Structure 1
Amino acid sequence: MAWPLDAVLTAVLIAAPTLLAVLFLLLWLAARRRLRQLAGEQTASARARVDLELSVAEQGGRLRIIRELHDLALHRVTSMIADAEGARYASGTDPAAAIRAAATIAETGRAALADMRRVNSLVRETEADVLLQPTLKSTRDLFKIMRDAGLGVTFDESGEPYELSAGAELAIYRILQEALSNSLKWGGDGTEARVSFTWTSQGLQVRVDDDGIRNAAVRKGLDPDNGGAGYTVEDDLRTLTQEIIGPGIEEMRERTELFGGVFSASQTAGVGFSVSAVFPALRHHNGVHGVDLTRGGTR
């Protein structure tokens, strides 16, 4: 049976405001999500810019010192040449003057050598800074940077720490860097992240838990404690079945697997995100399936 035209028009007119409201709501939510993404990108860009500016300023200062010492060394060498010429001419008629000139040349040469050693030291320091890779000790600096950017970071450690290879320390640092950056990006200012290291006799578990979802709800003016976070039972089910993916997640997984570890990322509905990197045999891992190749099985 065909619907009367006037009834169809009436239904359309009644539904139109609702449809428009839903459309505007979707557009508004998409715009807010994009703004949060842009804010996170701007924060990361600002941190990178500050680090780059400090590095450039430091290297510029070293280059000025190197240039000044180089000019001074050139002046000393020029004086040595002049003194040597004078000593050569005086050697036939005034041996005493030639001896004094030789002593002056030796003193000037030692001073020039000292300047060149200073230049060499500065060059080596600059090269070391350029080639320097983060270590586990660098995580303290990373935590400070993230706190300055608005992320609350707490750290706890259990077990007995031991020395790791440079590659393993770099992998752990990059995992922490990516995880904390994601916490700030998705949760925004005020998000709290808890970093924990659990050392075992042969391995290490690195874990980062944040309350980014809860904090994002609070920033919107909602009350998570009274059901205001907006999540449902479906969200709880989704967290149990949905796999978290993304370029950053894949990079953390690859870095973990490179050292024989297992990586996982999960979401707690209404609370936040967690990442875990478990390295069962990190202490002796050497690229051969984690087999301990050290003499006598000890390090």
Structure 2
Amino acid sequence: MGRFPFIARIRALPPLLLDVALAVVVLVAQSVPFLYETRRLSDEPWTVAHYLPVLASALPLVARRRYPFTVLVLTLLAAGAYSLNDPDNPSQPIWYGMLVAVYTVAERSSWRRGIAATAIVIGGSPLVVGSVPTFVRGMVTWIAAYAIGRAVAVHRASAAALQERAVRLEREREIEAERAAERERARIARDMHDILAHAVSIMVVQAEAGPLAVRANPERAEAAFDAIGSAGREAMAQLRRMLGLLKEAEGSRDPQPTLDRIPELVGQVGRSGPRVALTVTGTPAGLPADAEVAAYRIVQESLTNIVKHARATTAEVRLEWKDDALVIDITDDGTGPAPADRPREPALSGGDGLIGIRERATACGGTASFGPDPGAHGFRVSVRLPLSPPAGTSVRLQPAQLAEVTR
């Protein structure tokens, strides 16, 4: 279709306009015998009785899409009327209108109706043709018109089925992505509930005992207030990890990684997989603790996808510090499992790795995008994390504090 744009423009025209143009073309083609008086064996002049059937066999084509079977019958009757009016005249037009009508019935009706229509035409053809050779030629052309119409109908139905399947698969992917996001949010909600229930319970008990301990045992009161502060700090740190959608292995209790461990991560991947380059530009600034953890996990997830799915030889991790945000770009030169003429659709680590990248960035008030790299062959993950906490965050822990709390 791209090689013949004029065909697309013609098909974009209104169907009625196309059918009117087709009827005019058929009428002109069927009128050719009237232009060659010398080929007519009879001395009788052309009359209205000759012209009207030719006209009547072309005009119904305007309604061929809506009434295909009726149009076929009308064109057959018009051709028969022409022959009955002048049975001895061998100079007859080629009934293109009937061919178009047979094609339309085959293309727009069921195969049973198409066969019935072709049988009607062949059965009524003795009224139209004047000799056996002409009858045989007509039968061959009518069957060919039917076959072409059926082929077009089958092709159209197949294309529609493929399009419907593609739409259904795309919708299923969207639904699965939504379900994955919902499952992740539900998991975070449960974790947040557990964190808050544990920490707040400790804080309430210690706070209620604090006033009594101040009078009876100052040292115990001091320990109670320390416990309140410790529980609050731990709850805040864990809440930030939940909001960052940090997906740790079951039972892991290691301190959360931060930006200073990205070079180590890049080195580990480079030793066992593609060559990975790390580029840092701009002046590093303070980043919220949850954003630091999210940045590390985003780089980790992206490099994991590259190693598992990209078939890449080189990759680049670029950290660009701006005045108000940290921009992370991870690119590779992989070919992926898809053909070269089709953009690679990345596989998801754990089933929803790219969804997790977007959710991590969103939880920190940032944005994430991913897809084929428009500037090169490969895949790009681009994330922007703000330097200030998302709106509504009142407490900001530094990376050192976060590491201390989780030890």
Q: TM-score, normalising length from structure 2?
A: 0.35
Q: TM-score, normalising length from structure 1?
A: 0.45
Structure number with bigger Rg: 2
